[in-house]
């Protein structure tokens, strides 16, 4: 099929590359000229394992192309995916839909034959209705349909999540559009993906509700971890014991420094705003947001206790600063709260991250990026494992720090306390 993807950010580029790899003719549109120039030269602006190869391979076979010319791309395509950004509005929690509506007006100018217009960006419930209103001001409803097809891609696993999704959600009551999209996704359905057709608004809400629920699950185990620390229980055992109940499931039940990223924080706030708009108080999600925002404070007070409330001049190393492993994304990472706080308290901070130095820390006093784990740890009083990169999973700490009595604070519970004890390493985990 002939597909147009508008927006070559994280969702658009992954979707475009994967759709082309499934044999479709895909044209990705972006208004930024340098972005398109880079993509045509195999320069991918996103750190996503496997994406570069997929883009280069399909660009070579001409199944995938890039352009700034939205006009011709829309005219040539049967299905148009809107994959532009929907960031949180400044000084409020609602999603900013400016780009979505601007692109809808551009599409409207170029509808000559029947088009299926699909929102893949995460958009609040009723956005599809608004887009329909915008386009039907100038174009007959017989010439287009607006469909919601939310993505469930995790950063670092996006290609796998696209090719092997648990489910494909298609929000439309238009039979013809549903049939066409079902055939577009048929290669994935034949590999076991569940296809679920529902109304457009339900599809929009499924996306937000899924992210809000996953954020709730994570926050739930983080609060249980706080309790575990008081009653000498290992939260990992609680998580395993709970997860064996298939009504609960073991995934997204790992304690840590709190959820970050570009989705959970944004989507939980946006769905609460949607609730407010319809006078519904989504109190659980509101509390999840509050609890997660407070999490860094709890872990920082633990750091202070570990250092006997003497942070000034202490040498602290952060292993990993991104919001999770296998991504270079720093958005809403808990390190963005922890490192500035500790620096203000007078700590001397070094950090190592496999994705390199971060601009976010360049201007902060006494914070230094090190090119290796060893150089980051060598003179530290406290080593903090912040992100669960594989690089940190089998370290020989004795060789890493030249300080005899350094402490290890493992915010991802990667290591076993008994093993640490045996190696005579002063060790703290989370929730145990």
Q: Which is nearer to ligand UDX, 10 or 144 (CB)?
A: 10
Tell me the C-alpha distance between 193 and 182, whole Å.
Answer: 11
- Residue numbers at the binding site for ligand UDX (CB under 6 A): 151-155, 211, 214, 218, 252-254, 256, 259-261, 263-264, 323-324
Tell me the C-alpha distance between 216 and 209, whole Å.
Answer: 10
Closest distance of CB 209 from ligand UDX, Å: 12
Q: Which is nearer to ligand UDX, 135 or 169 (CB)?
A: 169
Tell me the C-alpha distance between 128 and 130, whole Å.
Answer: 5
The DSSP secondary structure of 356-375, one letter per residue, reads: ---HHHHTSTTEEE-SSHHH
Other CB atoms within 10 Å distance of the CB of residue 101: 15
28 is catalytic: no
The answer to whether 46 and 25 are in contact (CB under 8 A) is no
Tell me the C-alpha distance between 9 and 36, whole Å.
Answer: 11
Please give the C-alpha separations between residue 214 and each of 18, 159, 322, 353, in angstroms, as whole numbers: 25, 20, 19, 26
CA nearest 78: which of 24, 138, 12, 13? 24
- R_g over Cα of the chain: 24
Task: Name the active-site residue from 18, 228, 263, 317.
Answer: 263
Backbone phi, then psi, for 195, in 5-degree steps? -105, 125
Closest distance of CB 127 from ligand UDX, Å: 17
Return the structure tokens found at 178. 């549903």
200-231 vs 235-243: helix crossing angle, rounded to 10: 140
Closest distance of CB 93 from ligand UDX, Å: 17
Residue in the block written with tokens 């049967």: 78
Q: Which is nearer to ligand UDX, 79 or 235 (CB)?
A: 235
Helical (H) or strand (E) element with 421: helix 417-422
Closest distance of CB 165 from ligand UDX, Å: 10
Tell me the C-alpha distance between 323 and 141, whole Å.
Answer: 43
Q: Which is nearer to ligand UDX, 151 or 381 (CB)?
A: 151
Closest distance of CB 412 from ligand UDX, Å: 8
Closest distance of CB 152 from ligand UDX, Å: 4
Q: Which is nearer to ligand UDX, 27 or 193 (CB)?
A: 193
Q: Which is nearer to ligand UDX, 21 or 155 (CB)?
A: 155
**Measured on CA atoms in the order 215, 357, 17, 159, is the torsion positive or negative?**
negative
Return the structure tokens found at 319. 């292993």
Closest distance of CB 150 from ligand UDX, Å: 8
| Helix, strand or coil, per DSSP, at residue 119 | strand
Q: Which is nearer to ligand UDX, 314 or 431 (CB)?
A: 431
Return the structure tokens found at 57. 């391979």
Residues recognised as catalytic: 263
């Amino acid at each position: 099929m002939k597909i147009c993807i508008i927006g070559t950010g994280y969702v658009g580029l992954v979707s475009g590359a994967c759709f082309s790899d499934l044999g479709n003719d895909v044209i990705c549109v972006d208004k930024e000229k340098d972005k398109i120039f880079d993509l045509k030269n195999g320069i991918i602006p996103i750190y996503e394992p496997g994406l570069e190869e997929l883009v280069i391979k399909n660009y070579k076979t001409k199944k995938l192309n890039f352009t700034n010319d939205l006009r011709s791309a829309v005219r040539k395509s049967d299905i148009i995916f809107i994959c532009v950004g929907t960031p949180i509005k400044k000084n409020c929690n609602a999603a900013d839909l400016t780009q979505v509506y601007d692109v809808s007006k551009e599409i409207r100018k170029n509808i000559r034959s029947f088009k299926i217009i699909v929102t893949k960006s995460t958009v609040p419930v009723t956005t599809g209705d608004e887009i329909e209103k915008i386009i039907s001001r100038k174009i007959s409803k017989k010439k287009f349909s607006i469909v919601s097809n939310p993505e469930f891609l995790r950063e670092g696993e996006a290609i796998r999540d696209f090719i092997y999704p648990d489910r494909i959600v298609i929000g439309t009551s238009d039979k013809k559009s549903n049939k066409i999209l079902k055939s577009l996704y048929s290669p994935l359905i034949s590999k076991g993906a569940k296809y679920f057709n529902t109304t457009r608004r339900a599809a929009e809400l499924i996306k937000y509700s899924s992210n809000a629920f996953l954020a709730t699950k994570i926050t739930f185990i983080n609060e249980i971890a706080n309790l575990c620390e008081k009653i000498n229980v290992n939260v990992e055992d609680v998580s395993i014991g709970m997860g064996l109940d298939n009504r609960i499931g073991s995934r997204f039940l790992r304690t840590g420094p709190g959820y970050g990223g570009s989705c959970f924080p944004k989507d939980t706030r946006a769905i609460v705003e949607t609730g407010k708009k319809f006078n519904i108080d989504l109190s659980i999600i509101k509390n999840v947001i509050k609890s997660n925002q407070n999490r860094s404070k709890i872990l920082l007070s633990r750091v202070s206790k570990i250092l006997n409330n003497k942070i000034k001049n202490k040498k602290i190393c952060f292993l990993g600063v991104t919001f999770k492993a296998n991504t270079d994304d720093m958005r809403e990472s808990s390190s963005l709260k922890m490192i500035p706080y500790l620096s203000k308290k007078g700590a001397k901070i070094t950090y190592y991250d496999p994705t390199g130095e971060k601009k976010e820390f360049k201007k902060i006093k006494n914070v230094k990026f090190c090119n290796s784990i060893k150089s980051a740890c060598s003179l530290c009083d406290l080593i903090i494992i912040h992100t669960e990169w594989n690089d940190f999973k089998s370290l020989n700490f004795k060789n890493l720090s030249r300080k005899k009595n350094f402490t290890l604070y493992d915010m991802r519970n990667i290591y076993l306390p008994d093993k640490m004890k045996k190696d005579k390493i002063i060790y703290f985990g989370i929730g145990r």
